Structure 1
């Protein structure tokens, strides 16, 4: 739940995530068409798959079914499981042509998978495994997930490392904001999580953590939470929410998180952690 935000799909759903399910079912020998529409034939195939794997037979692809359905693929692989990955349109920079859905996991597919992984703070290995698929499953209508910040990440490969460290400090952690999410940062995450819940404890900042870590800030505020916003906006991180920071916030909001009121609340925080293009 916290680090793998599986999106539940069922009858009536449409889109790339549904097509991914259908290609994965085809890889398992089920005769369904990968048309991106979760209709009766897809539901029947899902129920058959669930029955064969000892799962609850509900015809819905959710947190229970996804991990059994996913097939890990990497460079050199071929087949329907590769097509399942290739057909996702978000595995590219704007302006790049979509991948050819040819079922061959070559260098371009690996590059796009790595780009997707970097975009969400995942392990950047070019392998479309369970973690990557949990985020691919969210490429469907509905709320967007929060990205991950994991031990071993640096500001160079995950631009959310320093902001996460600043937010942990805002909640009382005594750590150095150095852009390296090492064991000390991981321990701070665990300590923070233990104040919130008894389950889903780890060293990774995930879906349940960001909403609790973020702090609404506005002009006149100061401190670590303001520094986190400033790092995400690329302005001087002096910890003082002055006119320059407010202007940067409003500029960002006008494009990505309206209304442009200059207040960094949950909607703006969420947008700031995403890879967005205007």
Structure 2
């Protein structure tokens, strides 16, 4: 749940994730049309799949069914599971052509998969395994990951996560390298709040608890986190002054309305998404 944000899909749903589910069912030998509509036929095939594999039979593809349904795919693979990946589009930039859904995992598909993995802070290996599938199969935009071993050059959220951990009292240096000390800091942060889904990765359950609502006049490590995430090269001084306020409003005007200068959950979440390079 924390590092694999599987969505839940059932009767009445539609869209790319449903097409992916249908193509994965076809990969497992089920006969149905990949039309993107989760109707009675799809629900029945899902229920059959669940029964065959000893899962709870409810006809819904959720966090327990997804990991059994997905098929790891990589360069050289062919078939319906590859088509399931390709139909998600995986464009690098707006205006890029979407992948051709030909069922062949070639170099272009691998390139787009790696870009997708980098964009969400996943392991960048070009293979669509459970972690990558979980982000493809999310029901809504997930929070990205920050993992031990990543640095600011490959995951621009590292400094932000470190400053937020410092805001909550973690005795670490915000150095742009999410090493063992940072990993231990997030593990301790998690342990103080829950008994499950504890790891050294900053994930879905962590960001909403790490972030702090901010506005002009505030100061501290959380402000530094915002300043590292905003475009434009702001001074990271931890003071939410007029320049930071203007940068926040500019960002909100483009990506995260309302343009009110308050850095709340929506603005934080949008700052952590890959919206520009």
Which interval holds the TM-score relative to the shorter structure? over 0.9
Other-structure match for 2:161: 164
1:202-221 paired onto structure 2 within 5 Å: 202-221=199-218
Other-structure match for 1:85: 85
Q: Is the 8 A contact 2:190 2:198 kept in 1?
A: yes
Deviation at 1:232, TM superposition (A): 0.3
Query: 119, 130, 152: which is aligned to 2:149?
Result: 152
Deviation at 1:89, TM superposition (A): 2.3
Other-structure match for 2:263: 264
Q: Is the 8 A contact 1:91 1:113 kept in 2?
A: no
Structure 1: runs of 5 or more not aligned: none
Other-structure match for 2:128: 128
Other-structure match for 1:114: 114
For the pair 1:96 / 2:96, whether they are aligned, the reply is yes
Other-structure match for 2:230: 233
Other-structure match for 1:44: 44
**Any idea what SS the aligned residue of 1:13 has?**
coil
Other-structure match for 1:243: 242
Q: Distance in 1 between matches of 2:19 and 2:273?
A: 24
Q: Distance in 1 between matches of 2:102 and 2:73?
A: 14
**Any idea what SS the aligned residue of 2:119 has?**
helix
Q: Could you list the per-position Cα deviations for residues 59-87 of structure 1 after superposition, in whole angstroms to 9, with x for gaps in the alignment? A: 00001100000000000100000000000
Q: Distance in 1 between matches of 2:73 and 2:141?
A: 24
The two structures have a TM-score, normalised by structure 2, of 0.97
Q: Could you list the per-position Cα deviations for residues 24-70 of structure 1 after superposition, in whole angstroms to 9, with x for gaps in the alignment? A: 00001111111111111111110110011000111000011000000
My pick for the range that moved more, 188-197 or 268-277, is 268-277
Q: Distance in 2 between matches of 1:178 and 1:50?
A: 47
1:11-90 paired onto structure 2 within 5 Å: 11-90=11-90
Q: Is the 8 A contact 2:90 2:99 kept in 1?
A: no
Q: Is the 8 A contact 2:5 2:142 kept in 1?
A: yes
**Any idea what SS the aligned residue of 2:245 has?**
helix
Q: Distance in 2 between matches of 1:40 and 1:106?
A: 34
Deviation at 1:144, TM superposition (A): 1.8
Q: Distance in 1 between matches of 2:247 and 2:68?
A: 45
The two structures have a TM-score, normalised by structure 1, of 0.97
Other-structure match for 2:171: 174
Q: Could you list the per-position Cα deviations for residues 164-222 of structure 1 after superposition, in whole angstroms to 9, with x for gaps in the alignment? A: 00000000001111111000000000111111111111000001100000011111111
Q: Distance in 1 between matches of 2:89 and 2:263?
A: 30
Structure 2: runs of 5 or more not aligned: none
Other-structure match for 2:190: 193
Deviation at 1:276, TM superposition (A): 2.4
**Any idea what SS the aligned residue of 2:193 has?**
coil
Deviation at 1:92, TM superposition (A): 2.9
